[in-house]
Amino acid sequence: MDMTIFSNLALGFGVALTPINLLYCLIGVLLGTLIGVLPGIGPVATIAMLLPVTFSLSPITALIMLAGIYYGAQYGGSTSAILVNLPGESSSVVTCLDGYQMARQGRAGVALATAAMGSFFAGCVATLIVAMFAPPLAEVALKFGPSEYFSLMVLGLVAAVVLAHGSVLKAVAMVLLGLLLGLVGTDVNSGVLRFAFGISELADGIGFVTVAMGLFGIAEIISNLELKDEREVFTNKVTNMWPTKEDWKRMWKPILRGTFLGSALGILPGGGALLASFGAYTLEKKVSKYGHEFGKGAIEGVAAPEAANNAGAQTSFIPLLTLGIPSNAVMALMIGAMMIQGIAPGPQVMTEKPQLFWGMIASMWVGNLMLVVLNLPMIGLWIKLLTVPYRILYPSIVVFMAIGVYSLSNNPFDVLLMMIFGLLGYIFVKLECEPAPLLLGFILGPLMEENLRRAMLLSRGDPIVFFTKPISAGFLIASIVLLIILLLPNIRKKREEAFVEG
């Protein structure tokens, strides 16, 4: 390893430690924890809601805050998983299994502390991993031509399909629908207005903030309002936070394994916190000698997935920062945030804007430190928040989303569009069609068309070019193999079981 990584990190910390960036990092991680704790609102809706607010910030400050929301949500999600048996965040689903059992045995404090320390350790390691792996990857990516980019996007979209619950065919169809919706508006090549039907507001396309808030925010509120909200909170049981010697002995290896598995799964296109936590829990259950205790309050079942989801949340920034390709819905919004700020995401960001690149990486470590220092003492406050009934919460969320989306262009049309996507999202939920692949397709639609056009122009219309260039061929072959594997009957069954288990 060469020494430039340290000078780069030093540059990054110089940026991350300025008062304004520290402040927004703090706001980001606190907000992240807040929405992580609260079931019913996730990082996708929150980041979408806050995007308009970031217009007035400098690019680096905006990205630091938004990133903080994502990994902060991983910390917060575990709190409600342990205390209420409700995953505040989808990536905390598996933490419910053992964390809640620990709470019922009066060990809620230990479970919370384990989750926080596992996350912190994972956060530190993942920061280093991002710093080490991003630059060489960016260098490779600089050599990518349009055919490589196109094939990489295909792989990313296929990976999104892998992660979606339920039918593969429906997930692919959702990706296609996303790609098509992404094409609405003026075609850059010909200047033709496509699918706009004379609505002038659609000339610049459908705003992805509008789509994300509708599909993830409004649809979620409507679905939540169908359920009665009942929560049993272990408020008085959080007394002893410090793990025993035995606990320490049992948790350090799972944390280590969780961190590395999580980091690896986070880098994969389509990866991120969710895949990481599921993977780590399954692995730990297999290798641990306490495997029989899983589901009954095993500390390993909290330590490993919590470390993994935080590691995965952070390393999923690698494809974003180096290739400009989002690996999940949150990263898709980060791309949006960069474009709003006038930064074209891609490998050139690292060389052209080193402060931004390294500042963001350094801020992740700073943010993790803030989270562990602030969160444990603030548990009491989070518990109070958990007792806020949903009937108070949801009108507030509606208000913030409406204001956010209206302010995008000061036009009621966006609010209407958000409502339409909310209804569409609700129908998707009912028909078991996952919205995440749609959002990824939506962001990638125009980019994919552009790269496809360029690649075909360069090859004089010969589609074989995608298979004669080795990197591009590799991506495509990987995508095809993935799809075939997914469609094989026994793997399909296994995958469904894996999702049911969670």
Least Cβ distance, residue 63 to other proteins (angstroms): 18
Closest to other proteins by CB, 259 vs 479, is 479
Per CB under 8 A, does 452 bind other proteins? Answer: yes
Question: CA 477: distance to chain centroid?
Answer: 26
Per CB under 8 A, does 180 bind other proteins? Answer: yes
Site for other proteins in 326-385 (CB under 8 A): none
Residue from 394, 442, 466, 475 touching other proteins (CB under 8 A): that is 394
Residue from 105, 200, 396, 468 touching other proteins (CB under 8 A): that is 396
> Cβ–Cβ contacts within 10 Å for residue 396, how many?
11
Per CB under 8 A, does 390 bind other proteins? Answer: yes
SS (H, E, C) 249-262: HHHHHHHHHHHHHH
Closest to other proteins by CB, 290 vs 413, is 413
Is 382 within 8 Å of 37 (Cβ atoms)?
A: yes
SS (H, E, C) 97-129: HHHHHHHHCCCHHHHHHHHHHHHHHHHHHHHHH
Per CB under 8 A, does 490 bind other proteins? Answer: no
Per CB under 8 A, does 461 bind other proteins? Answer: yes
Per CB under 8 A, does 402 bind other proteins? Answer: yes
Least Cβ distance, residue 463 to other proteins (angstroms): 7
Beta bridge partners of 194: 185
CA atoms within 13 A on the CB side of 118: 40
Residue from 2, 236, 286, 431 touching other proteins (CB under 8 A): that is 431
Query: Considering only 75-83, 364-372, 393-401, 469-477, which stretch makes contact with other proteins by CB under 8 A?
Result: 393-401
Least Cβ distance, residue 51 to other proteins (angstroms): 13
- Which contacts qualify for 239-245: CB closer than 8 Å, 24 or more apart? 239/109, 240/107, 240/109, 240/110, 241/109, 241/110, 241/112, 241/113, 241/376, 242/109, 242/110, 242/113, 243/110, 243/113, 243/114, 243/299, 244/110
Say how far apart CA 449 and CA 439 lie, in whole Å.
16
DSSP 8-state class, residue 72: H
Residue from 286, 460, 464, 489 touching other proteins (CB under 8 A): that is 460
Per CB under 8 A, does 150 bind other proteins? Answer: no
Closest to other proteins by CB, 31 vs 276, is 31
Is 24 within 8 Å of 320 (Cβ atoms)?
A: no
* Residue type at 255 in one-letter notation: I
Least Cβ distance, residue 118 to other proteins (angstroms): 35
Per CB under 8 A, does 457 bind other proteins? Answer: yes
Is 44 within 8 Å of 329 (Cβ atoms)?
A: yes
Least Cβ distance, residue 383 to other proteins (angstroms): 21
Say how far apart CA 146 and CA 285 lie, in whole Å.
43
CA atoms within 13 A on the CB side of 312: 33
Question: Total residues contacting other proteins (rule CB under 8 A)?
Answer: 61
Per CB under 8 A, does 27 bind other proteins? Answer: no
Least Cβ distance, residue 442 to other proteins (angstroms): 12
Reading the block at residue 266, the tokens are: 């986070």
Per CB under 8 A, does 264 bind other proteins? Answer: no
Per CB under 8 A, does 3 bind other proteins? Answer: no
Say how far apart CA 232 and CA 390 lie, in whole Å.
14
- Residue 446: closest CA among 205, 174, 164: 205
Is 310 within 8 Å of 71 (Cβ atoms)?
A: yes
Work out the burial of residue 17: count CB atoms within 10 Å of its CB; fewer than 13 is exposed, 13-18 middle, 19 or more buried.
middle
Reading the block at residue 84, the tokens are: 């209420």
Residue from 419, 473, 478, 486 touching other proteins (CB under 8 A): that is 419
Site for other proteins in 193-252 (CB under 8 A): 194-195, 218, 221-222, 225-226, 228
Least Cβ distance, residue 469 to other proteins (angstroms): 17
Closest to other proteins by CB, 133 vs 406, is 406
Closest to other proteins by CB, 121 vs 428, is 428
Say how far apart CA 272 and CA 395 lie, in whole Å.
30
Per CB under 8 A, does 169 bind other proteins? Answer: yes
Interface residue list for other proteins (CB under 8 A): 53, 56, 167, 169-170, 172-173, 176-177, 179-180, 183, 187, 189-190, 192, 194-195, 218, 221-222, 225-226, 228, 390-392, 394-396, 398-399, 402-403, 406-407, 410, 412-416, 418-419, 422-423, 426-427, 430-433, 448-449, 452-453, 456-457, 460-461, 463
